[in-house]
A = this chain, B = another copy of it.
């Protein structure tokens, strides 16, 4: 099948991510490649796009853009923090771009936040190319550890953490061990009573019957009594539709602090109380596959 006119030619001036297994591709028009390096762990690229601000690419996969990362970062953070009764210590596993950490630190009740990222170069590049995501990095509550998140969690003191946010890449390669019952068991041990773990869990359309179902099962097998998946839009990821799966130690996911969410003392662009409630409403096909509300 030949390209029929030159306006469809993406070979010059575009960054394209091809999802071979999904039979789809997504492209962003780029002005310039700002940076490229092979870190100890992966290939990192930064582009300046025409319409989505800066773009970070890891091993060929779109990680985030300036324009739409707020959707993901807000939904990985605020539903969990407004569900927990009083989160004081929050740990982000992965999340090297610092966007999740920034959202966590918006909560005045948080006393201590950790970002445990394997690749320090991701954070250094984010400081340079996504400075708005790093604006809380000097917050005295912010702590950084660059190393293996799986090992960090295995070594964490029992009953020491209120919320664990697993802000990882896809469940292949380095992140595979973060989508595993052993990891969630270590999270369970490290969490205090009423603690919550959140995992990015890929696309509702593509992965409900595979990754999402498996993440839910692994979390339950690890001893978490309540599990909920929250879909949200994320234009630069496959299908433009993504999800976070939360699991609670004890039955903590039944309610959230609606009044606190409504009165939140900080700015959000996607999240609000009603959006939180809405994210808990699963499409019918997800309910059917996951046998849940």
**Chain B contacts for A171, CB-based, 8 A:** none
Which chain B residue shows the least CB distance to A3? B11
Interface assignment of A274: CB less than 8 Å from any CB of chain B? yes
**Chain B contacts for A12, CB-based, 8 A:** 1-2
Q: A269-B283, A278-B281 are in contact. Are A11 and B14 (CB under 8 A)?
A: no
Interface assignment of A293: CB less than 8 Å from any CB of chain B? yes
**Residue count of chain A within 8 Å CB distance of chain B:** 59
Q: A25-B26, A26-B26, A205-B233 are in contact. Are A10 and B7 (CB under 8 A)?
A: no
A15, B33: Cβ atoms closer than 8 Å = no
A240, B235: Cβ atoms closer than 8 Å = yes
**Chain B contacts for A240, CB-based, 8 A:** 233-235, 239-241
Q: Of B22, B25, B67, B274, which is within 8 A of A14 by CB?
A: B25
Q: Of B3, B33, B231, which is within 8 A of A16 by CB?
A: B3
- With both chains docked as a complex, state the minimum distance between the C-beta of A180 and any C-beta of chain B, in angstroms: 27
